[in-house]
């Protein structure tokens, strides 16, 4: 991965030319969550397009820039828009922006996404629910760590037995309780996309232990853990997974439900960041 390391350093330097801001927590915004940027006291914005060789998102609803600033006392770097594997980028490129934020100083990342609800043992997941990620299944997509390992980022065979930080999960549950925002919990499965799943695939994923399915996040969580970052993941359940609802799945429905849940989702993220800001 020599070439990737060079690219990462070049990205870091390009960002550094634009701002000296040192973030502690990265926030990756999923579909429909772009408004979270309004809650950030922004000190600098860097469009991905200004960074040479940077992958840029082609999906409607994903803006494509970094915001650097504060939520309360917490210095954050927000990714307004991410790139996805289904857009054609190799996994190594999909996780490049997040790795760049790791090199800029982020020790933690809050990953968000829109996902289809498969259901949990405790009760069904309904559209509009927020779900804390307990774990993920990423075996159906390539690993972002495939290829020569860059030891400067992390070890060849990183442990994945606790990807989603119990400490950050506890913090998120506390914030949700304080804000009276219901928060479900479950296992997220990353599917390759871009097509939604078939009902047979969803039955298979349920048998594998998945509670929700989406097209992002797990690869980013792997890259973040590789670098030793603490990870929190939250899904907005925007629809019931294929075969569990009568209507066909559509990106319109996903965007609409995400937009409806956006205020709650933003308030929860803000609550977590405010709590983190008080820690240090």
Binding site for ligand HPA (CB under 6 A): 114-116, 191, 196-197, 213-215, 238-239, 241, 249, 254
Active-site residue 56, yes or no?
Answer: no
Exposed, middle or buried by CB within 10 Å (0-12, 13-18, 19+), for 261?
buried
Q: Which residue is nearest to ligand HPA (CB)?
A: 116
Nearer to ligand HPA (CB atom), residue 148 or residue 195: 195
Active-site residue 149, yes or no?
Answer: no
Nearer to ligand HPA (CB atom), residue 240 or residue 276: 240
Active-site residue 87, yes or no?
Answer: yes
Catalytic residue among 57, 62, 92, 113, which? 62
Catalytic residue among 24, 79, 84, 220, which? 84
Closest CA to 198 of 86, 116, 91, 133: 116
Nearer to ligand HPA (CB atom), residue 3 or residue 207: 207
**Minimum CB–partner distance for residue 261 and ligand HPA (Å):** 12
Active-site residue 251, yes or no?
Answer: yes
Nearer to ligand HPA (CB atom), residue 77 or residue 213: 213
Active-site residue 89, yes or no?
Answer: no
Active-site residue 31, yes or no?
Answer: yes
Active-site residue 143, yes or no?
Answer: no
Nearer to ligand HPA (CB atom), residue 25 or residue 112: 112
d(CA 53, CA 58): 15
**Minimum CB–partner distance for residue 86 and ligand HPA (Å):** 10
Active-site residue 216, yes or no?
Answer: yes
Active-site residue 226, yes or no?
Answer: no
3-state secondary structure the chain: CHHHHHHHHHHHHHHHHHCCCCCCEEEEECCCCHHHHHHCEEEEEEEHHHCCCCCCCCCCCCCCEEEEEEECCEEEEEEECCCCHHHCCCHHHHCHHHHHHHHHCCCEEEEEEEEEECCCCCCCCCCCCEEEEEEEECCCCCCCCCCCCCCCCCCCCCCCCCCECHHHHHHHHHHHHHHCCCCEEEEEEECCCCCCCCHHHHHHHHHHCCCEEECCCHHHHHHHHHCCCEEEEEEEEEEECCCCCCCCCCHHHHHHHHHHHHHHHHHHHHHHHHHHHHHC
Catalytic residue among 220, 239, 242, 262, which? 239
Catalytic residue among 165, 216, 235, 262, which? 216
**Minimum CB–partner distance for residue 65 and ligand HPA (Å):** 22
Catalytic residue among 26, 114, 229, 242, which? 114
Catalytic residue among 1, 86, 143, 275, which? 86
Nearer to ligand HPA (CB atom), residue 168 or residue 241: 241
**Minimum CB–partner distance for residue 112 and ligand HPA (Å):** 12
Residues recognised as catalytic: 31, 62, 84, 86-87, 114, 215-216, 239, 251
């Amino acid at each position: 991965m020599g070439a990737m390391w060079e690219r990462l350093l070049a990205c870091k330097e390009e960002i550094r030319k634009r701002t000296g801001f040192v973030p502690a927590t990265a926030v990756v915004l999923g579909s429909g969550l772009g408004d979270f940027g309004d809650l950030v006291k922004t000190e600098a914005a860097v469009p991905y397009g200004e960074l040479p060789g940077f992958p840029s998102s082609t999906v409607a609803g994903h803006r494509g820039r970094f915001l650097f600033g504060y939520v309360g006392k917490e210095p954050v770097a927000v990714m307004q828009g991410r790139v996805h594997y289904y857009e054609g980028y190799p996994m190594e490129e999909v996780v490049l922006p997040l790795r760049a934020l790791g090199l800029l100083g982020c020790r933690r990342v809050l990953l968000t996404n829109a996902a289809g609800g498969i259901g949990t043992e405790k009760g069904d997941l309904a559209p509009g629910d927020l779900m804390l990620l307990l774990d993920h299944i990423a075996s159906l997509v390539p690993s972002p760590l495939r290829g020569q390992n860059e030891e400067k980022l992390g070890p060849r065979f990183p442990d994945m037995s606790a990807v989603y930080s119990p400490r950050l999960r506890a913090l998120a549950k506390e914030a949700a309780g304080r804000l009276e925002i219901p928060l479900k919990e479950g296992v997220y499965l990353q599917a390759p996309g871009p097509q939604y799943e078939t009902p047979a695939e969803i039955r298979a994923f349920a048998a594998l232990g998945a509670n929700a399915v989406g097209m992002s996040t797990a690869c980013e969580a792997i890259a973040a853990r590789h670098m030793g970052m603490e990870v929190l993941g939250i899904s907005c359940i925007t629809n019931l997974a294929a075969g569990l609802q009568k209507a066909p799945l559509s990106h319109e429905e996903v965007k609409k439900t995400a937009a409806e849940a956006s205020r709650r989702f933003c308030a929860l993220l803000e609550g977590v960041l405010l709590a983190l800001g008080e820690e240090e």
